[in-house]
Structure 1
């Protein structure tokens, strides 16, 4: 009872009870500070009394506990040191349960091969005599690998290796997962990671070439087409499924414009007509130039070729003025129009009028055909002022610039034109133009012609209105450029148009 009545013991017992029962740890920190304050206060009082005899103020020694920003009063309570030690002991116990201790024991008996098998049987290491023979001849293992690698062939996409960012330092790169749609089905869900150097000069087509280079470098199968323009990039899901709702990425756009991390390499679906072998027939018109025609097969008759020439040249056949075809190498000998092209043994012919020689073919004044000089000068730049026809608003005046490389449409400035409906300037590459023809002739002396161009996966067009003479000049100039360039888009458009006409004729014949 004497111990329980002692003041210091009771204070120590109460403080210890608070510390052990408080999970937040606050009591322990506050009590320690109070004890420290008491010691400091007593020490200063003693020193002050001994020096000046004046007691120091209690306000100088008393202060509240500093509130720190990491105390987290509202979020959660701090765990006590005891709880933290118990948690560490439990964690160490769980880790120790996963460790298995095996004590090493020396065996007195020797290892018996017959009883325990041949796991540790001694083996004789034979000398590498073939390697010595190669060494004598001067061929090392490295030389053999170099000879083997030289027979593997070069990577056809080597020019795109400069866009590989895996070994680049100090440049901006981006990692993109590429799903390969041409890979075997079991490999399609696993993408190939490509690291591309991102810059203003890195286009989407360069990324396609880099993918093809890494694909070939890793020896994947099947082999890719050596033309990287045969492939495009589509947006892909996380499981590799191609999102066909969106078109492919524009090959001319920079890679930095897009932020997709998963793409799919897809082979373009080229028209079957382009994949087939092309048979190009050349028909010369004396003093008038020439025309080239692409045929799907050699079974076409010469009469059909003659009809195409007359239609292209807009030559009207009059009674007594019939036309025929001759081989370019045999002057004066008309070919059999009912024979096929395969029977001619040549692909170059000449258009002649019956009862006339090649030098006597003249152009009628009413016929609107192009001459050889006109065909050669059609590539020179020339501009025209025409009106662009719109469906839902009034026509706008534009300047149509035509050359052998491109066609430009520039709006003509007008003070009264609205900014909302103002025509923007556009430029089309000559190889993207599919056709140009007059679609309407008006009684007012004006005509409307249509310029058809390739808009990605479909054909689009612009309609223009001008004087009939100006329209005919523009149409002939553009058609001469198309005939001389023979672009794949032009071939595809002409083939599809002739196929539609043939189906229409067959349906009419069947109905009659």
Structure 2
């Protein structure tokens, strides 16, 4: 406790303990004065003062070595008076830019003309609504009659992406001669019926040939047509209720019917549609027809329908199980596949190891086939022959694949295959191939018929 008797220690203790908490700085100012008294007393008691002592050490003697004063030491905040003076200065600058005008009432009244000159009335500007050319055209022709065939526009296949489409060349037989020779290209969806395809054709025709008067859809029919525009008059028109994808013809003719469609009913609750041919317009029957004539007419029409059905199904693929006769007169069981595009010969696989002739599969394009005919008729079997040519295209199997290649005696460019099957199967195959060849009329067939004709005249000349 003896240290408390030293007044200088007490001053140092107060300085180091309380000055750091004095925000006003008054305590530090008072303590700094005591330091001068202490220095004076020390110099008076020291007999040999040191002149070399730096003044800096004396100046820092009143400071504490435990407290390090730096830039982070809290700074005194501004007083409220300074902040208020700054706000007053800002208000004065704003008011200096304002101009005060005193409003005084004018005792002299102005005339109406002066008032109108001072306050001129402005007319409101009405912005004109712009219309596109399509809107003007639509309003102009709004009362025009609609196309009666517009409902068939949904069957148009042009522009379709994910739907199966079919393309046809349509010959318009009712137009003048200089227009009917140029076919119209029509693309429809594969699920459309024949009547819907006719409606789509009439929709296209109504926009291209506006001068012609087009009748309803039931008045027209589609017929099989050659590539040159000649309509096949031997076959009836396509059934309007059938799907168009069922028929494999790409050239069709649109024919206008003169007589309406007739329906004949039988006792078996079945109805048959009989449509009179539009080409035989010369023979007109009287209204009073006897029953015998009606039965004959019905029989003839049914026969025509059967022929028409077989002609429509001819291009469809069908496989037959027949026997192929090789050069050594051996018989090999095969599957004969016939379609409108090609003929396939596929041997039947057998497990027997002792096979005299090993037959490999062969494909021939239908354009290579020249003729098909019946060669021999036996008691229970019929032999028929398919004649083909290798000058037009190439088959999928080489000539050396088969161990037999009998050459046709009439021409070195034609070869043939001989097959044996039952009577009904052979007749169906011959009729199917002959009908396909007649519809396609390939160059191979034309060359074969020309060679046969030359051979006939050559024999006749020798006789």
Q: What TM-score, normalized to structure 1?
A: 0.29
Q: What TM-score, normalized to structure 2?
A: 0.32
Give the number of the structure whose alpha-carbon radius of gyration is greater.
2
